[in-house]
A and B are shown apart, each in its own frame.
Chain A
Amino acid sequence: MTVETDAIAAGMPAHDEHELVQLLTPEGERVAHPDYDHLVGDVTDEDIRALYRDLVLARRIDTEAVALQRQGELGLWASLLGQEAAQVGSGRALRAQDHAFPTYREHGVAWCRGVEPGLLLGLFRGVDQGSWDPRENNFHLYTIVIGAQTLHATGYAMGVQRDGAVGTGDADRDTAVIAYFGDGATSQGDVNEAFIWAAVTNAPVVFFCQNNQWAISEPLERQTRIPLYKRAAGFGFPGVRVDGNDVLACLAVSREALQRARDGEGPTLIEAYTYRMGAHTTTDDPTRYRLAADLEHWKLKDPIERVKAYLTRGGGADAEFFESVEGEAEAMAEHLRAYCRGLPDPSATSIFEHVYVEPTPALVQQRDELATYLTSFDIGGDGSVGNDSVAGEEAHR
């Protein structure tokens, strides 16, 4: 561990307050870091190529979803553009047994957790409210109410503690939980309460804040007077700021924090310093509140280009590799288009399912009323009205 235990005990940030942990410069140069090099000492060129592939595919999933929204196939999309390294770096630091609690923008983390990318579209298309099984990939459903999931993550981590799955030294058993949230969320009471709970219970949870500088139209200075990672000191656990566009640094910092959690050493706040290159969502218009020049500045820090430069310069990958990844990305995009258009609309009466584990008599009555009403429009006699064939059949019984 590189974290100074005295500093933790004093509730102070583990590292110099001005330090932004960076291992890969925007130009793709590998720079040494005394505290974090050893955490990625095992990372080979093959691993970097795999990270590059993750970054490109995460971006391609995102740009395709934006396109699908523009074509009217999705009602909304929250773009991760610019935040790929923060998500892939942290996502690849997770072990199978670890559990992630995302916001609604963690498409790159979902990719790393092995969630079928098509499943991410349902919520935004309006056909469901989260269609992957969180138990299969240890990746919770998206949470839209800002910050609410940080408490769920903390409670889940308290459960991990009670299961005796921390500090045993068994790499396959010791479990960490990671909560994703943004800079805006740090103003929410729930996030601050999660910090307090995690601190006093020493819960195995990592708070991973992607500071993308914007909460829709509000810049960071509307949320805080101090760097966000420094808030951790006030709660009594370490905080660290990492270059959120540096996938290697995000991997290193996340590995350290997750291992602290698994070892029973408690929570960590990671502030991944990045930039939201796109709009808040597809309904947003950032030209109303920010300068194009800022965007140009951050384009130079692109999370994918620096990895490409690193691999190219060091001979870690050749043109054939980059072409093959591009090919995969195009295939992914095509898969998403087909997947999206193939998603069926839910039947009208399906809304009555799963309100409770067993439907109540009142819900059964309302479902039957709706089915009967819909069937009253049925002139074909086959019990079907548009997509509501189920409703029709039920009413005919």
Chain B
Amino acid sequence: MTSMAIGKAINAGLRRAMENDPKVLVMGEDVGKLGGVFRVTDGLQKDFGEDRVIDTPLAESGIIGTAVGLALRGYRPVCEIQFDGFVFPGYDQIVSQVAKMHFRSGGRLRVPMVIRIPFGGGIGAVEHHSESPEAYFAHTPGLKVVAVSSAVDAYWMIQQAITLDDPVVFFEPKRRYWEKADVDEEGSPDLALEAARVVRSGTDATLIAYGPMVKTCADAAAAAAEEGRSLEVIDLRSLSPLDLPVVFDSVRRTGRCVVVHEAQRALGIGAEVAARVTEECFYSLEAPVLRVTGFDTPYPPSRVEEEYLPDLDRVLDGVDRALAY
């Protein structure tokens, strides 16, 4: 067991993937000598060389588009997009090329690549550095989309994503990069990449979260327990595909469901979860599925981001509203 922060766990997972498969490449802006602006790729270029850890020109479409070509040649590129808000110059390549290549080629061509994106707010950053664009990608057939919430998952899920033959958009909760946990590097992952995890069992209501909001929800559930309320917390982990049986099973037991994410509310992951839960658990529901999310505004200036971002109190307020039905 090694105590590791999430950022360090991704670094260790990348290192292990590169050791296991010489076709694995890391590419992006500042990922080499600097080790990435969050140091997630620290030391990799030194150990694996400039051909495998590539400091690219500063253009996101170029990063994704050349990674497609490398994947077609048999490589497994792991692209880093430096910040969530910078992914959009590469959006066309991701949505029109990466996502569709396997489908349009009738399964002849695979693009096994991973696109790592640090996402979410809460770090006091300037604009374009705190966004949660996951729904754009989860809405796109052909992409797998995951978000990690702990060092253990980070270590294993990055390796699972790299091994997968489908393209994966890999969201990293940047404000939790420094959250530590004990990681057993010699073990094996306890869940498939696409599986959700019940983080905390409960009976009164189900909280559904992913990425940075998993900790917020776990903290909220701990606080609620002190008041005698038993909240179940589910970490979705995979946003496309969604592991809905885990969600349905929980909601059928608790009868109440609150979805929590930083991203804006309309047409987000919460909307999809709410629709599916309503379809499948209609007769078990004691209350409508509620959402505690960012608001339908552009991400605000950092001095008011605490009001924008769901926190423990807003999550509990959502639970109160669900329990009031």
Where the two chains meet, the residues of A that have a C-beta atom closer than 8 Å to any C-beta of B are 128-131, 133-135, 140-141, 143, 145, 148, 150-163, 189-190, 193-194, 196-197, 200, 353-357, 360-362
Do the beta carbons of B93 and A357 come within 8 Å of each other?
Answer: no
Q: B108 contacts A134, CB within 8 Å?
A: yes
Q: Is the CB of B96 within 8 A of A145?
A: yes
CB pair B110 A357 closer than 8 Å: yes
Give B198 Cβ to nearest chain A Cβ, in Å.
18
Binds A, one of B35-43, B63-71, B224-232: B63-71
Q: Does B282 contact A (CB under 8 A)?
A: no
Cβ 8 A contact of A159, one of B75, B109, B241 = B75
A154 B69 Cβ-Cβ under 8 A? yes
5 more A-B residue pairs beyond the given contacts A158-B66, A158-B69, with a C-beta to C-beta distance below 8 A: A134-B72, A148-B93, A153-B69, A193-B61, A193-B62
Q: How far is the CB of B86 from chain A (nearest CB, A)?
A: 14
Q: Is B298 an interface residue (CB 8 A)?
A: no
> Which residues of B18-74 are within 8 A (CB) of A?
25, 51, 56-57, 59, 61-62, 64-74
Within the complex, what minimum Cβ distance (angstroms) separates B125 from chain A?
26
Contacts A145-B92, A159-B74 given; indicate if A152 touches B65 (C-beta within 8 A).
yes
Among residues of A, the one whose C-beta sits closest to the C-beta of B103 is A354
**B102 partner residues in chain A, CB cutoff 8 A:** 354-357
B97 contacts A361, CB within 8 Å?
A: no
Q: Is B165 an interface residue (CB 8 A)?
A: yes
Contact with A along B81-114 (1 / 0, CB 8 A): 0000000010011001100101111111110000
A155 to B73, CA, bound (A): 8
Name which residue of chain A comes closest to B64, CB basis: A151
Contact A196 B165 (CB under 8 A): no
Query: Is the Cβ of B69 less than 8 Å from the Cβ of A159?
Result: yes
Report whether A197 and B97 are in contact in the complex, using a CB–CB cutoff of 8 Å: no
Q: In the complex the two chains form, what is the Cα distance from A355 to B194 in whole Å? A: 16
The reply to whether B65 and A357 contact each other, CB–CB distance below 8 Å, is no
Most buried by B among A129, A145, A161, A193: A193
Min CB distance B66 to A, Å, is 3
Q: Are B165 and A357 in contact (CB under 8 A)?
A: yes
A152 CB contact (under 8 Å) in B59, B69, B110:
B69
When A and B form their complex, which 7 residue pairs have the shortest distance between CB atoms, in order from nearest? A155-B69, A151-B65, A159-B73, A155-B66, A193-B62, A129-B104, A156-B69
Residues of B within 8 A of A156 (CB): 69-70, 72-73
Q: List 30 A-B contacts (CB under 8 A).
A: A129-B100, A129-B103, A131-B106, A133-B108, A141-B105, A143-B97, A148-B96, A150-B65, A151-B93, A152-B68, A154-B65, A154-B66, A155-B66, A156-B69, A159-B69, A162-B70, A162-B75, A189-B89, A190-B92, A193-B61, A193-B62, A194-B66, A197-B62, A354-B102, A355-B102, A356-B166, A357-B110, A360-B241, A361-B244, A362-B242
With the chains together, A163 CA to B106 CA distance in Å?
27
Is B165 a contact of A145 with CB atoms below 8 Å? no
Complex CA gap A163/B73 in Å reads: 9
- With CB as the reference atom, state the residue of chain B lying closest to A156: B69
Contact across chains for B61 and A190 when beta carbons are under 8 A apart: yes
In the complex, what distance in Å separates the CA atom of A162 from the CA atom of B66? Answer: 13
Q: Which residues of A contact B108 (CB under 8 A)?
A: 133-135
The reply to whether A196 and B57 form a contact with Cβ atoms under 8 Å apart is yes
B301 within 8 A of A: no
A200 to B144 alpha-carbon distance, docked (Å): 31
Known contacts A128-B106, A148-B92, A362-B242, A356 near B144 by CB under 8 Å: yes
Query: Is B142's CB within 8 Å of the partner chain A?
Result: yes
Interface residue from A141, A151, A153, A154 paired with B104 (Cβ < 8 Å) = A141
Report the nearest B residue to A160, measured CB to CB. Answer: B73
Known contacts A194-B65, A360-B241; A148 and B89 CB within 8 A of each other: no
